[in-house]
Amino acid sequence: MVMMLPFLTAAIALWLALMGKRGACLWLWLLTLIIFAVWCHQHMTGTLPISL
Amino acid sequence: MANYSTFQGHPLSRPLNCLALAGLCGVLLFAFAWQIHFNEPPCPLCLLQRAAFAMAGVGLLLNIRFGASPMHYGITIISALGGLFAAGRQVLLHIAPGDAGFGGPFLGLHFYTWAFIAFAALIVFCGVVLTFERFTQHYAPLPRAGFAAALVMWLFLLLTAANALSTTLECGFGPCPDDPTGYLWLSPGPGTK
C-alpha cells in the first residue's frame, strides 16, 4: 500500500485542471477517490474501543 | 484553438470558491507547520484526511478554472464526506475515557476533530452556495482568474505535491506505521518500521 499515492494522483488532477484539461482531471479525481476508499478500508477495519 | 467562454456563474461564485480553496490551503499549511514545528509526523488516518482535503480542493479549483458545475460541487461534497468519514472514525478511536488521543491538541481539540468540523463546514458551504449558484453551460477554460485566484490555485497544487513528498519521506513507497515517530527516509527509527 503506497500511502503517498492519493496525494500524487490528486496533485496530477489539480495540475491537469490548471492546464485546462477538465476531462482528464475528472478521471484522475475518480482514481484518487478509489485509492482513498481502498486505503480507508485498509485502515478502518479494526475494532473500535467503544464496544460494551 | 481554445474556445473561451464568458463566465456565466453567479458573480459571487468565483470569489467564494477562491475563499474556500484558500481556507483549504490554510488547513494544509497549518497542518504542515504543526508537523514540522512539533515534530509530529501524521498518522495514516491523518494523511487520509489530508488527502480528502486535496480531493475536495479539486472541485473548488474546477469551479474557479472552468465555471460552476453541479459535478464540481459534487466532487467537493463527496470528497468532504470521505474526509468526514475518516475524521469521524479517528474521533471514535480516541473517544474512550482515559485515551489521550493522537498528537497535541489545538485550542482544546485534536486535529482530527478540527478536520471533522472543517469537512462539515465545507459541505455546508457547498449547500449554501448551491442555493443561489448559476451553472456554466460550456466547460471551457475561463479567462484569466486574476492574480489572487491564480496564487491560491497554484499554492493548493504546491501543498498537495508537498504532502506527496512529505508522505514519501515519512513512509517511503509503503504503508505508514499506525503511530509514527519519525521519517523513514530521513532517520529510520522504531516508529517507522
Q: Where are the domains of chain A?
A: 5-37
Q: What is the pLDDT of residues B68-120, one digit of tens each?
A: 999 999 999 999 999 999 999 999 888 888 787 787 788 988 999 999 999 99
Alpha helices in B38-146, H assignment, sequence order: 44-66, 70-93, 111-130
Distance (Å, whole) CA B138 – CA B148:
24
pLDDT band per the 50, 70, 90 thresholds, residue B10: confident
Q: Which residues of A touch B99 (CB under 8 A)?
A: 49
> Rounded to two decimals, what is the model's pTM?
0.89
Residue type, B9: G
- Which of B30-39, B96-105, B122-131, B159-168 has the lowest average pLDDT? B96-105
Per-residue confidence (pLDDT) for residue A50, from 0 to 100? 66
**For the purposes of burial, counting CB atoms within 10 Å of the CB of A9, is it exposed (0-12), middle (13-18) or buried (19 or more)?**
buried
Cell of B46: 491523518
Give the residue carrying C-alpha cell 472543517. Answer: B118
Q: Check CB contact under 8 Å for A6 and B82.
A: no
Q: What is the rounded radius of gyration, in angstroms, for the C-alpha atoms of chain B?
A: 18
pLDDT band per the 50, 70, 90 thresholds, residue B161: very high
Phi/psi for B109 (5° steps) reads -120, 145
Per-residue confidence (pLDDT) for residue B189, from 0 to 100? 54
**Residue A48 above 80 pLDDT?**
no
Per-residue confidence (pLDDT) for residue B170, from 0 to 100? 86
Q: Which residues of B touch A1 (CB under 8 A)?
A: 174-175
Q: Check CB contact under 8 Å for B86 and A44.
A: yes
Residue with the larger pLDDT of the pair B69 and B142: B69
Buried b (16+ CB within 10 A) or exposed e, B83-111: bbbbbbbbbebeeeeeeebbbeeeeeebb
Per-residue confidence (pLDDT) for residue B131, from 0 to 100? 93
Is B44:A35 a contact under the CB 8 Å cutoff? no
Q: What is the pLDDT of residues B23-68, one digit of tens each?
A: 999 999 999 899 889 888 888 899 999 999 999 999 999 999 998 9
Give the mean model confidence (pLDDT) for residues A6-34.
95
Give the mean model confidence (pLDDT) for residues A15-30.
95
Residue type, B75: I
Per-residue confidence (pLDDT) for residue B146, from 0 to 100? 84
- For residue B183, the number of C-alpha atoms closer than 13 Å in the C-beta half-sphere is 14
Q: Which residues of A touch B59 (CB under 8 A)?
A: 29
pLDDT band per the 50, 70, 90 thresholds, residue B188: low
Q: Which residues of B touch A18 (CB under 8 A)?
A: 61, 65, 153-154, 157
B169 in reach of chain A (CB within 8 A)? no
Per-residue confidence (pLDDT) for residue B108, from 0 to 100? 86
In chain B the domains, ranked by start, together with CATH numbers, are 13-192 (1.20.1550)
Q: What is the pLDDT of residues B15-24, one digit of tens each?
A: 999 999 999 9
Per-residue confidence (pLDDT) for residue B7, from 0 to 100? 54
Per-residue confidence (pLDDT) for residue B8, from 0 to 100? 65
Per-residue confidence (pLDDT) for residue B122, from 0 to 100? 97
Per-residue confidence (pLDDT) for residue B159, from 0 to 100? 96
Q: Check CB contact under 8 Å for B48 and A36.
A: yes
pLDDT band per the 50, 70, 90 thresholds, residue A14: very high
